[in-house]
Amino acid sequence: MTRRWTSLQDSDATPFDAGSTGLTSKTSGEAIRELVNRVTVSASPGFSFGRTGNLSSGTWLLRPGSVPSNKSGINVGIGTPLLLKVTVASENEDTYSVGIYQHDGNEINLNLVTTVSITAVRKQVFDLSAALEFDRQIAVRVLTGSAKNLGVDLQLSGSTS
Amino acid sequence: MSRILKNNTATLIAISDTGLQIPANGQITIERTDLELFSASLEIVPLISGGDVTVNFLGADLGPADGLFLIQELFLKDDKNVDGGFPSDVYLPTQNIDGGTP
């Protein structure tokens, strides 16, 4: 049977079952656009913080460029940002906790978003669902305990618009 | 060679432009990778000048002038004159690291 162009369904008119995908779209077209947004957001930028040495409680990690993240953090340019994962890595099997903060630069309007606790391991992955704010800077701090040569990386989701 | 900062007060001192803090009556060792942060720090200057923080180098507690010199060394190197001397407005250490005078 030959189909005419006019009989083909538009992707925005094709229902989409979002069950167990984590997507919210109701049509195939919307779902594709939602995925494009998510992939783009996950790749850029990298939210990575770190610092060398034996870090004690109260130490702010540095953003790329060796800038203390409490002074200038990484600004969030992602719409409706959600913190999905925090991964930590240290040289030794350290016990400590890390606080994820947001501020408007130079610790202005500083607020603690969430905390993760690490007990005697060198690496750990935390699954979260913590709301962040668009156009505010992220900073990371060792809250308790100590860690040597620590790296903390964040994975965010959101939209490019 | 490690540079140590000693907090001479009974309260925690935060040096926020380096992202570090010194525990009350405690001390921290400045990592080599943090030397540039400290040499550019504005907050550390009054703390050392005022005596709240003492710089310890090779086991010797330095006076405020020498402590600041050591912390700001990176910038002082940049300020050297072409003949290798320091500009006249930059002070020189008044004490050798062994505690004696130059």
Strand, coil or helix: A106: coil
Closest by Cβ to B31, choosing from A53, A60, A69: A53
pLDDT the model gives residue A157: 84
What letters, b where the CB count within 10 A reaches 16 and e where it falls short, cover A4-38? eeeeeeeeeeeebeeeeeebebebbebbebbeebb
CA–CA distance, A47 with A58 (Å, rounded to integer) = 20
pLDDT the model gives residue B49: 96
pLDDT the model gives residue B84: 52
**B25 C-beta neighbours (distance < 10 Å), count:** 12
CA–CA distance, A65 with A52 (Å, rounded to integer) = 13
Could B16 and A68 be called an inter-chain contact, meaning their C-beta atoms sit closer than 8 Å?
A: yes
Q: Does the interface ipTM go beyond 0.85?
A: no
Residue with tokens 């040597």: A148
Q: Indicate which of B3, B4, B21, B30 best probes the interface with A, i.e. most A CBs within 10 Å of its own CB.
A: B21
The mean of the pLDDT values for chain B is 82
Res. B83: pLDDT tops 60: no
Task: Tell me the per-residue pLDDT of B24-40, one tens digit each, with 9 for 90 and over.
Answer: 999 999 998 999 999 99
Cis peptide before B93 (omega within 30 of 0): no
Measured on CA atoms in the order A111, A68, A89, B1, is the torsion positive or negative?
negative
Bridge partner list, A156: A83
| Whole-prediction pTM | 0.79
Which residues are CB-contacts of A42 (< 8 A; sequence separation ≥ 6)?
A: A155, A156, A157
Q: Indicate which of B33, B39, B43 best probes the interface with A, i.e. most A CBs within 10 Å of its own CB.
A: B33
Task: Tell me the per-residue pLDDT of B56-66, one tens digit each, with 9 for 90 and over.
Answer: 998 999 999 99
Query: What is the rounded average pLDDT of the residues A13-33?
Result: 89
Radius of gyration, CA atoms only, chain B: 14
Please give, rounded to a whole number of angstroms, the shortest distance from the CA of B64 to a CA of chain A: 25
Task: Tell me the per-residue pLDDT of A98-126, one tens digit each, with 9 for 90 and over.
Answer: 999 999 999 999 999 999 999 999 999 99
Measure Cα distances from A16 to A11, A81, A139, A157 in Å. 9, 24, 38, 21
Which residues are CB-contacts of A133 (< 8 A; sequence separation ≥ 6)?
A: A76, A81, A102
Contact by Cβ (8 Å): A52, A149 = yes
**Whose CA is closest to A28, among A19, A18, A20?**
A18
The mean of the pLDDT values for chain A is 91
Q: Which residue of B has its CA nearest to A69?
A: B19
Residue with tokens 């005419």: A4
Could A59 and B12 be called an inter-chain contact, meaning their C-beta atoms sit closer than 8 Å?
A: no
